[in-house]
A and B are shown apart, each in its own frame.
Chain A
Amino acid sequence: MNRIKSVEELNRLRDEIRASRDPNKRCITVCGDTGCRAAGSLDLADKLRAEMKQQGVEGEIEMKVCGCHGFCQQAPVVAVEPEGIFYRHVGHKNPERDAKAVIDGTRDNETVERLLYRDPKTKKRIKHYRDIPYYAMQTKRVLDNTGKIDPNKIEEYIAADGYAALAKVLSLDPGDVVDEIKKADLRGRGGGGFPTGIKWGFCREADDQTMRYIICNADEGDPGAFMDRSIIEGDPHSVLEGMIIGAYAISHRVCPAQGYIYIRAEYPLAVQKLRKAIEQAEELGLLGDNILGSDFNFHIKIKQGAGAFVCGEETALIASIEGKRGMPRSRPPFPAVSGLFGKPTNINNVETWATVPRIMKRGADWFTEVGTEKSKGTKIFSLVGKISNSGLIEVPMGMPLRTIVEEIGGGVPDGRTFKAVQTGGPSGGCIPAELLDLPVDYEHLKEAGSMMGSGGMVVMDDYSCMVDVARYFLSFTESESCGKCVPCRMGTQHLLNMLTDICHGHGTPSDIERLRNISDAVAKGSLCGLGQTAPNPVITTLRYFEDEYRAHVEDRDCPAGVCRDLVMYEIEPENCTGCGVCQLNCPTLAIAGEKKEPHIIDSALCIRCGACRDSCKFEAVFTHVHENTPDDQSIVSRT
C-alpha cells in the first residue's frame, strides 16, 4: 500500500477496502490470543486452512486468526461470521475432525451442534454468542474489534473505522482534543483512576518546550490480569491511534513529541503484534513524520521491560526506560513537569489509550452514556479463579459485582459457595459475599477497601482460606518490592512472615493487632503505590474475615481446610457412597475402602492436598483441627 497523504486518501482507502469485500461472505474467526494458542488454536487454524483447500472452498469461506474472543474458559474458540455462530473447545480432542466439521457446516450453512456452547443452567445449546449470557450481559465498546479483526492487518482496522478518529482530530485544535477527553471524564484504566484529560492538560501546559514524551504503560504485571495483553494482541492499532491522538493533543504547536510503549518482555506475542502494527502505520504515513500529510510528526519506540512488577509504577517505568534500575521516586516533580529524561511526560495505560480513539470518533457524550456519575464508560476485567466462566469481559462501570460474578461469570462451580473476590490485583482487596451488590466503580471499590486496579478479578469459594489468600498476595508484593524504601521492603517481609507463621499454626492472638499496625505503617510510610497498597489484601481480609484469622491463631484451625499444618482430612461414612473417585485422585494412596463401602483416609500418609475433597460429589470429605498442633517452642518472635 502507498503512503496516505491526506484524510481524503484515507477515506478513499477505507472505501476501497470495504468495496472489495462481500459482507455476506462467511468468515471463520479463530482466536489466536495467548490463551487459545495454548489450547491449540494455531494448529486448529492450520487444519481449517488445509480442510478448506482440500474442499476447494477458499473462495467461498474466509478464515482469519483474530484476537481474544473473551471466553477463555471455552478455548479454543471459533466464531462464524456474519451470523455470529459460536463454537467452543474446537479441536480440543481431535482438531482434524472438528476442523472438518466446522468447514462442512459453514459450507452447507449448517450448525455443528456438538461444538455449540451449552448453558450450564438450562442445559440447552446456544447457537449465537449474542445469546450466551456471558456475552449478552457485556458492553463491548473498547473490545469491539478484538476477536473480529485480524490484528496483523492494518486494512482490517481501517475498514473497521480505524484511524478515522485520528483523521478527525488532525482538523481540531489540540486544546479542543484535551477538552473532549476532559468532557468524557475518562479516568485512567491503569489503577489510579486519575482523570486523563486533566493529566493531558498538565503535560501540555508544562513550561519546558523542548520535548513531550508520550508513554504507553503496557507493563501489566498483576497475577491473573491480561486485559492489556488482549487489547494489544487483538487490536494493536487502536493503542497506537490513541497515542498519536494523545501526542497531538499534548504536544502539537508546543514542541516535538516522542512515544514509547513500555511492555513486558514476557509478552512476546504482544510485542510482535505491536512491532508489526508500528511498521504498517509508519508505512502508510499514519505514524512518523507528516502524519496524514499534516505538519504533525510522532514516532513510537518499543521498550521491553525485564519483568519487574514495580516498573508499572510510572516513575519506576521512566527510570527503566532511561536505562536505570526500575525504582520509583517521590513526586513532585510529577512526570507531567519532569518525567522521561527530565522532560514533560504523559503516561497512560493500554486500555486508556485504546479508549481514546473511540471517544474521539463517537464523541464524549457517547462515552458518558454508560457508567456512573463519577466513573464513566466501560471497564475491562479479567474474571478468573473459582468461577464457571472465566475470561475477558467488558462491562459498564457501576455494574453490580453480583451481576458480574453470578450472571456473566455463571457463579462458583462445583456446587461451592461464593466467598470473596479480590479486585485490583495484589494491591487490591478482598470483597466479601455480603458486599456482592456493590456497584463496580472507582469510588465503591475504594470504599470497600479495595481498588479498581487494572481490572483483575479473582473469585474465591468457601474452600479458599483468606489468611492463605493474603499470604499469597503478600508473597507477590514482598518479592516484587524494589527494596528502595524501608516500610515496603521490611514491612512486607514481616507481614509475609507473620502470615506464613499463622498458616503454619505458629500464630498468636497478638499477631492480629501487629498485622494491623504493620499494615498501617507500610501503607502510610511507603514511597510508591506498590508499598502503599501492598497491605490491602491483609487489611481487607482482616476487616471482613477476622474470624478466620482468629480460628488460626486461637484454635489452630483453618476452617477452609487449606492450611496443611492445621487440619486433618476425614471421610464422613454416612455421606460416602464408596464411589472410589477420591481414591483415584489421591496422590499418596492414602485412601482405602471397598467399592460401595465408606472409605477411610490414613492420616499418616495424607498430605492434606485436598484432592479428595475437591473430587467428592457427595460432600463426604471434611476437615477438622489437626490432633497435633504445631509446637509452640518453634515460634520465633519478640513479645
Chain B
Amino acid sequence: MQRIFSMMVKEFKQVFRNRPMLSIIFIAPILQLFILAFAITTEVLHIKLLVCDLDRSQVSKEVVRGFGNTDRFDLLGFSTDLKEIKEKMKAWEAQMALVIPPGFSRDLGRGQNPEIQVVVDGVDGNTAGVALGYARGILGEFGTNYVKNRPNYTQPVGIHLVNMEERMWYNPDLSSQQFMVPGIVVVLLTILPMMLSALSLVKEKEIGTLEQLMVTPLTRYQLLLGKLIPFLILSYVELAVVMTVAIVFFKIPMNGSYLLLAGLAFLYLFTTLGLGIFISTITSSQQQAMFTAWFFMVFMILMGGFFIPIENMPPILQKLTYLNPMRYFIYIIRDIFQKDSSLFSLLKDAVPMTAFGLLIFSLSVLKFQKRVG
C-alpha cells in the first residue's frame, strides 16, 4: 500500500513538473469545447431551396410560405421544369428542391394524403440529413395548421415523407451544441486516460527507469495501480472542469444524475486505461505510443457516432460500431444529458460497454505482466 502511494505521489510530481503537458491537459479540452461547439456545427442554415410548384393553388403557396419564413432555407426561385432542378443541383446552385405535384390541394381536400417530393443533394450527408429533418418539421406544422384553419375538415391528414426521426423530439432545433458537448466529454475521457497511461508507461521503458523499478520489491500490480490511479483522478478532475464550462458557459442542459454519469464514466475508463496499457506493451518509445494511440483514437471517434451519426453509415459499418466501446458511452452520455435516463434504461449500452472495458483491461494487464520481467 505504502509503495502504491509512493508511486502515485511520484506520478503526480512528474505531471506537475511537466508544465507544457499540464497546460495541454487542461487548456486543450476547453479549447476543444469552444471550437467544436462554435465552429464545427451540424446546425444548417441558408439551405438553397428551389420550388417546383405544379399545383399553383392557394394551399401549395401556403406550403411554400412555410419554407420561406425561416432563415434555414433561402428560396432561390420557382421552376416548372424538373430538368432545371437537376441542372441547378449539379452546378451546386441548389441544395434542395420541393416538388408539389399537380392536384395537390384537391387531393388534400379529399383526404388522399398527397405526396410532396423533397429532393436533397446528398453529397454532404450531414447537411442533407439535417435539411430533411427541417423539411419534415415544416410540413408537419403545415398539416396541423391546415386542419386548425378548416374547422369543418374531417378527413385525416398526412403528408407522406419518411417517418419523423426520434432525436428531433429531444433536440427540436437540432442545436448542435446540445449534441456535441456531451460527445466532447466522451472524447475527453478517451484521449486523456489513454494517452497519459500509454505515454507514462512507455516513458519508463524508454528512459530505462522501468529497469530500476523492477529491481525494487515493487510488484507489477503495485506499479500499475500506482500509475493508473493518478490518471483516474486527473480524468475526473478534467471531467468536472469541462462539465462546469459546458453547463455554466454553454448552458447545456444537464437533465440526468451526476452520480450515474460519474459511475458509468468509471466503467468506461477501464476501456481507455486498458488501451493505454496495451499500447505501452506493443511500443517502445513515446513517439510510437503517440502514433498508436492516435490510430485508436481516430477509429473510435469516427466509428463512435461523435461526428458522423451512426444512422448515416452504411449497414456494414453500422454493425462494426458495435465493436467500439465508445459508441455505447456516447449513447449513454447523451441520454443522461438530454433525457435523464435511469440506469435501468441505459443497461443495453452499459452492459456491453462494461464487458468491453473489463475484457480490454484484463487482457492488457496480462500482456503487461508478460512483457515486463
Query: Does chain A bind chain B?
Result: no
